[in-house]
Amino acid sequence: MSIIVSGCGHSLSKADLSDANIAKVIKAGEFTQAEKLIKMKIATEDLTPAQIWDLNFQIEVMDRIRQDFSRDDSTIFAQLQKYYPEVTRDDMVRWEEKKILEGMTIDGEKRYFRNSARNVFRIDEEAEALYNQTHPYSPDPLDTFVDESVTKVLKSARKTGKALVEPENLKIRYSISVKPDEVPAGEVVRVWMPYLQNEDIYKNVKLLATSQPDYIIAPEGHAHRSIYMEKVAEAGKRTEFWYEMSYTVYHKFHDFEPEDVKPYDTESELYKKFTAERAPHIVFSDRIKNITDSLVKGETNPYLKSVRIFDWICDHFPWASAREYSTLDNIPEYVITNDHGDCGQVALYAAIATGAVAVAIPEVPFDEDAAIKKIAHLRDMGKRGMIVVVSEGVLNPDGTHYAETLAKKIQAETGVETKFARFSHVVRGGRPTMRDRATAANMSVRAVELLAEGKSNVVMCELNGLIRPVDIHFALIADRMYKNKLEEGDLDGFTPEQLEGMKLLCDKRQEEIENLYKVAGHVGFR
């Protein structure tokens, strides 16, 4: 008897059921075909229970990817319009090319990540500015609470000398529900909901009430403590679960100086456990190792190393909604490639940093010969991994990106294998500093004052330490002047005094960039 695979044209006996081929088919986005191959492999080969479990999990992963990438082209465009009503199809194409709008082809159909529309305005600086035009800034109550709480905790900890301070007695209700008919009537819905440990900052944990009379709470000390409940789904009704609990929570703060922190015992089991790779989701690739080594180079204090890492992450990786972790092979690499991540991903990326041996930016002439000689010298000194950063604004005479051209020249003239990677856009993100918040607040207040005075068409700028309104047309043309992108007629209508002011602004910005470039050279990034 022959079993024919629909759409494949191959009999079961001729189907390639190797793990390598299945992985290849999955990577190509042919999920339906991959699922058929997996089921054939399970049905026809002598496999261990572990192998069968792994194969079934691959099917589960594909199903989760389908759920994450569940939006079609028209749906995403409509969502983009909600955040920015004037969005165009060209905007959508540009954002996808920059890997800001996350999508993939599944079974021949283009699908987009369910939260990709909102992520565009979190990740891309230009898109964020467009979003802010229709969604004016308002203080986040959570940020306000955190700022106030941190001040209170610091004061109390330093006054008492204790690590655990400012206890608060809380009562919470934790709930989760499944939409009507999402699960067929009569089937059992099972949930595992997080539950607190009686340890560290949480004390006096007490269960008060549950939606279900029968439940199981994981024992104290369990790695991921949870409360388990189940319920039979009913037609046309939501399946709801909840529990209430009370507890005392302490705020925790350790006041210390860097010299108080001692080197890690790298031979201890604790160190090995929490610094180990956890394939496939946490793998220390060569790229990760090279970047990490560059960031902490010359520093031996564990605390100061962590400060460097933390600061760099805050400067480079904004928060954005991310696809389910189980569907990613190497989570830190996902963050590197996409220039963003959610809170868990960025935490895993805490040992990543840049460390360029040369930097090319539009504002400063780039000495190509000197950079290549430096790379050759470092090669002779035994350095194996080197990074060269090229701004997206540095172009060849024909308008193409210079980075790929430079990569080919480096390899040809030094013999160093050189790989080119485009990061699409340098993203600025991270939690705002107190200065950032104060500046934003001052700009907001001044903007409202101007609106109350009947003034508009201005952009708020910080000039010489002062918050000042600048005519928006003036600001746009000044920016074009700085970037050498002036077009015919751009300067028409401006007075000689205004034109001189533009030139002075451009000169000052150029000076600041050059000074920063010099600092980069002194610390070894050039």
Looking at the structure, tell me whether residues 377 and 340 fall in a common domain.
no
155 part of a folded domain: no
Residue 518: its pLDDT value, please? 58
* Alpha carbons 346 and 427: distance in angstroms, whole number: 14
The encoded tokens of residue 387 equal 């990074």
Looking at the structure, tell me whether residues 283 and 343 fall in a common domain.
yes
Domain limit, last residue, from 224, 252, 280:
252
Looking at the structure, tell me whether residues 439 and 498 fall in a common domain.
yes
Does 448 score more than 60 pLDDT?
yes
297 part of a folded domain: yes
Residue 355: its pLDDT value, please? 43
Average pLDDT over residues 291-295: 82
Looking at the structure, tell me whether residues 246 and 264 fall in a common domain.
no
Of residues 525 and 82, more confidently modeled: 82
Of residues 341 and 204, more confidently modeled: 204
Which pLDDT tens digit goes with each residue over 421-431? 554 443 444 45
The encoded tokens of residue 12 equal 């079961």
Which pLDDT tens digit goes with each residue over 69-122? 999 999 999 999 988 899 999 999 999 888 889 999 999 999 999 999 999 998
Of residues 244 and 433, more confidently modeled: 244
- If pLDDT is split at 50, 70 and 90, which confidence band does 436 have? low
User: Is 411 in contact with 418 (CB distance < 8 Å)?
Assistant: yes
8 part of a folded domain: no
154 part of a folded domain: no
Alpha helices in 462-495 (DSSP H): 472-482
* Alpha carbons 311 and 269: distance in angstroms, whole number: 29
What Rg do the C-alpha atoms of the chain give, in angstroms? 28
Residue 422: its pLDDT value, please? 56
Residue 353: its pLDDT value, please? 37
- If pLDDT is split at 50, 70 and 90, which confidence band does 521 have? low
Residue 434: its pLDDT value, please? 54
**Would you call the peptide bond into 139 cis, given omega within 30 degrees of 0 as the criterion?**
no
Q: What is the CATH number of the domain that holds 392?
A: 3.40.50.460
Looking at the structure, tell me whether residues 61 and 78 fall in a common domain.
no
Residue 517 burial by Cβ neighbours in a 10 Å radius (0-12, 13-18, 19+): middle
Range of the domain at 459: 434-516
The overall longest dimension of the chain from CA atoms, in Å, is 90
Which pLDDT tens digit goes with each residue over 172-183? 999 999 999 989
| DSSP states along 17-42 | --HHHHHHHHHTT-HHHHHHHHHHHH
User: Is 340 in contact with 99 (CB distance < 8 Å)?
Assistant: no
Strand partners, 112: 71, 103
Query: CB neighbours of 351 closer than 8 A, spacing ≥ 6?
Result: 288, 292, 295, 309
Looking at the structure, tell me whether residues 480 and 451 fall in a common domain.
yes
Looking at the structure, tell me whether residues 107 and 126 fall in a common domain.
yes
Looking at the structure, tell me whether residues 376 and 341 fall in a common domain.
no
Residue 421: its pLDDT value, please? 57
Looking at the structure, tell me whether residues 447 and 475 fall in a common domain.
yes
Residue type at position 523: V
26 part of a folded domain: yes
Looking at the structure, tell me whether residues 442 and 506 fall in a common domain.
yes
Average pLDDT over residues 482-508: 82
Residue 2: its pLDDT value, please? 30
Average pLDDT, rounded, for the chain: 81
Residue 6: its pLDDT value, please? 35
Domain limit, last residue, from 404, 428, 452:
428
Q: What is the CATH number of the domain that holds 344?
A: 3.10.620.30
- If pLDDT is split at 50, 70 and 90, which confidence band does 489 have? confident
The encoded tokens of residue 391 equal 């701004």
Kindly tell me the number of DSSP H helices and DSSP E strands found in the chain.
Answer: 18, 12
- If pLDDT is split at 50, 70 and 90, which confidence band does 365 have? low
461 part of a folded domain: yes
Domain limit, last residue, from 68, 85, 111:
68
pTM over 0.75: no
Looking at the structure, tell me whether residues 191 and 204 fall in a common domain.
yes
Average pLDDT over residues 353-367: 60
Looking at the structure, tell me whether residues 300 and 221 fall in a common domain.
no
What is the separation of C-alpha 370 from the centre of its chain, rounded to a whole number of angstroms? 34
* Alpha carbons 414 and 424: distance in angstroms, whole number: 26
Place of tokens 């805490």: 350
Of residues 152 and 140, more confidently modeled: 152
First CA to last CA distance, the chain: 68
The encoded tokens of residue 307 equal 């400060």
- If pLDDT is split at 50, 70 and 90, which confidence band does 508 have? confident
152 part of a folded domain: no
Of residues 352 and 241, more confidently modeled: 241
Of residues 47 and 522, more confidently modeled: 47
* Alpha carbons 346 and 321: distance in angstroms, whole number: 11
* Coil vs helix vs strand at 341: strand
Question: Which helix (H) or strand (E) is 208 found in, with range?
Answer: strand 202-210
What is the separation of C-alpha 260 from the centre of its chain, rounded to a whole number of angstroms? 32
Does 44 score more than 70 pLDDT?
yes
370 part of a folded domain: yes
Residue 401 is given by DSSP the state B
What is the separation of C-alpha 198 from the centre of its chain, rounded to a whole number of angstroms? 32
Phi–psi pair at 24, nearest 5 degrees: -65, -45
Average pLDDT over residues 147-151: 83
Residue 121: name the closest of 95, 142, 103 by CA.
95
The tally of domains found in the chain comes to: 6
